[in-house]
Structure 1
Amino acid sequence: LAPRKMKDSFQTVQIPLTDKSIREKYINIHGSVRFGILMEDLDLLAGYISYSHCDQSVLQTGISPLSIVTAMVDEIKIHHDHIDPTVDIIMAGHVTWTGRSSLEISMWLEQNGEKVVDAEFVMVARDSETAVIHPLEVTTEEESKLFELGNQHKKQRLMEAQESLFENPPTIDERQLVHQIFLKTLNPRSKSFRSRILPEGSLWMDSTRLKNAVVCFPEKRNIHNKVFGGYLMRKAFELAWANACVFSSNRPNVVAVDDIFFHCPVPIGSLLLMSSQISYSDGNRFVARVHAEVMDTLQGISTTSNVFHFTFTCGDSQVPTVVPKTYGESMLYLDGLRRLK
């Protein structure tokens, strides 16, 4: 296949927040912009950019032999706590790295010429199986740096997968940390490993959960007749934000989103069960992890569809310390610690 240049996939979109009818959809209760809606828009733009690189005819016909799906959200960085809902937002992005069938899409959001959000999405193209896509031609030194950064991101993802707590035990330092936390929760009077007490200013991790059930209607389907990934991200973020509010007893601000994995598609008509939990906290920062699973109501079988991670802050306010009680919760705690670092 013929190489494509980065500029070939460059796209820019304006969100006209100066239009009151549009602003009503985007504004939140605090006079800022709803971040969940922006996540939906980013997912839409990532798909559009991917098709413009892989099959430009689809931009005119709307038909393509390829099926391009969101594999993961590598990272979203939020540079401003407050995004002005009265000023237009410019969304822009392009392909910055390609593999055999995967693409990395770099996007950004601007207001008044200043970046407010950066995002990195990984997309995968398929036909009957895994498709082969156009390679990327690098023409400038800046493009070369972007492509090399994509290579580094891929290596980082592979390394993190190898070091995952699902694959390997915690490090020696992490094991010592877990044991120290365990000792702090023992009742010194009982001399028993079963008698646990909660340290002052702390909360048991299992008490920080918040759940939601979503019925998936055709209104939110994509071109593949599955639930649109951006909609799933918005619902997960809104649940995580509500969880963050309850946990912190304050107004939280999201500062980062990383490693949103799409494990399986969500069929229209299915029941999506979402569970949010605070996995780690330190000072005024904490991590909310949202686990989403598709439930087959006829067979009573649930399958994990997505895992989301959101990092929040609460200004200068301190939040409770999350304390794990079981070994499984300790692994969630260490995973959150790694992400916050």
Structure 2
Amino acid sequence: MHDSYTEIFLPFASSPELLEQYTNAAGGIRTGKLFEHLDSLAGSIAYKHILGPSVETLGKISEHGFYIVTAAVDRLDMLAPLSPVRDLRLSGHVIYVGKSSIEVVVKMEALEKGQEKTLMLGRFTMVCRDAFTHKAHAVNELKLSTPEEEALFAIGDLHRKRRHSLAQRSLHLVPPSPSEALTLHSFALKYGNELKNDLPSGERVWMDDTKLERTMLMFPQERNVHQKIFGGFLMRLAYELGFTTSRLFTRNPVRFLSLDNISFARPVPIGSILRLTSEILYTASSEQFPTIVHVRVKANVVDVETGAERMTNDFRFTWCSDIPITRKVVPKTYREGMLWLEGRRALEIGAAIQGVKTLSP
């Protein structure tokens, strides 16, 4: 397990030139650009697991007979605010492998005055494919050397089982639980009646009215080693659109809380037209965070000849604000109601991880 350990240093405190490349409009760090590094890091770690700890360059994919792609990002949780005056270390290693899948845990730490502080933790699921048939390709087994590594492997196995359980409970496959149906019904009665006039002005916002869209051409400068658009670049685009959506909705400064899930359904070809659509699925509040906003960003590739679209990625993000608001996102259709419940489930999982109490819509 330890052979796959890899790290990247970003010396923001000592390099104003580097810091300038990552500074956002508020003077902080562009989190979306860090996502690009984390995706690249996870890929490098997965290749290192298969090719060996001494590998320095990848070379041609056809020579190896396999390639590795990001299948999903299970979570990325921000544990402490970013600061532009501290050096950052991004690191990670493999903690679990299946027949053709590799789970990589990543960590972002702040380095200041000899102290290390963990800012972010996350998990990437990478999959190995045959370079010619594009079917599943077997990966190396994972050798465990210490009790700590055995514990990490057990956590990885627990994550796998949890993903399987969540997939089986997906609202795309099964109806909501009785308690979820009751929660949605009560919320719809209170906020969803279009004829109800006793709601304060602006308190109800229809989910469809929160949508933002961005359409762009995919250039070869953003390609990966497989000659497709780099997944980390897509993560950055989705993050920035999601941030804009939550910022416009709250009308207040927002802070990134978590990346709840990303699914990579298919690659994005160079030269394709990509349409990103964001919408707010759920809003809540808690003792720690007066305002919590959960956002979905969907990425579709558009066929110029027919106008048909195919989804390539589904991104789920959560932002928070220290300023409370009374505006509620309200679903109008059954489809939106299921998305509302998906957002609620994501925030419940995040609340359990972060120890958040009294989460309420």
Both structures adopt the same fold (TM-score exceeding 0.5):
yes
1:1-341 aligned within 5 A: 6-17=1-12, 18-56=14-52, 59-60=56-57, 62-63=59-60, 64-81=64-81, 83-112=82-111, 113-127=116-130, 128=133, 129-185=135-191, 195=195, 199-200=199-200, 201-283=203-285, 284-318=291-325, 320-341=327-348
CA contact 1:227–1:265 (8 Å) conserved in 2 = yes
Paired residue secondary structure (1:318) = coil
Q: In structure 1, how many angstroms separate the alpha carbons of the residues matched to 2:325 and 2:283?
A: 9
Q: Which residue identity is paired with 1:102? A: S
Q: Which moved more, 1:21-30 or 1:151-160?
A: 21-30
What code does the residue aligned with 1:294 have?
V
Partners of 2:192 and 2:321 in 1: CA distance: 30
Q: Which amino acid aligns with 1:19?
A: S
Query: TM-score, structure 2 length as denominator?
Result: 0.88
Question: Aligned-residue CA RMSD in angstroms?
Answer: 1.6
Runs of 4 or more, structure 1, over 6 Å off, are: none
**Structure-2 change in CA distance of 1:58 and 1:132 (3 Å):** same
Which whole-Å deviations, capped at 9, do the CAs of 1:172-213 have from their partners, x for residues lacking one?
1111222222322466xxxxxx74658332211111111111
The alpha-carbon distance between structure 1 residues 162 and 323, as it changes in their structure 2 partners (threshold 3 A), is same
Q: Contact 2:295–2:316 at 8 Å: present in 1 too? A: yes
Q: Percent identity?
A: 37
Instruction: Give the structure 1 partner of residue 352 of structure 2.
Output: none
**Cα distance change of structure 1 residues 198 and 117 upon mapping to structure 2, 3 Å threshold:** farther
1:59 partner SS: coil
Report the secondary structure of 1:137's partner residue. Answer: coil
Deviations 1:197-250 (A, max 9, x none): 583322111111111112100000011110000000000000000001100001
8 A Cα contact 2:90 2:108, kept in partner:
yes
| TM-score normalised according to structure 1 size | 0.93
Q: Equivalents in 2 of 1:290, 1:26: separation in Å?
A: 22
Q: Which runs of 5+ in 1 are unaligned?
A: 1-5, 188-193
Do the aligned residues in 2 keep the contact of 1:66 with 1:131 (CA within 8 Å)?
yes
Q: What is the distance in 1 between the residues matched to 2:56 and 2:148?
A: 27
Equivalent AA in structure 2 for residue 163 of structure 1: R
**Native 8 Å contact 2:261 2:317 kept in 1:** no
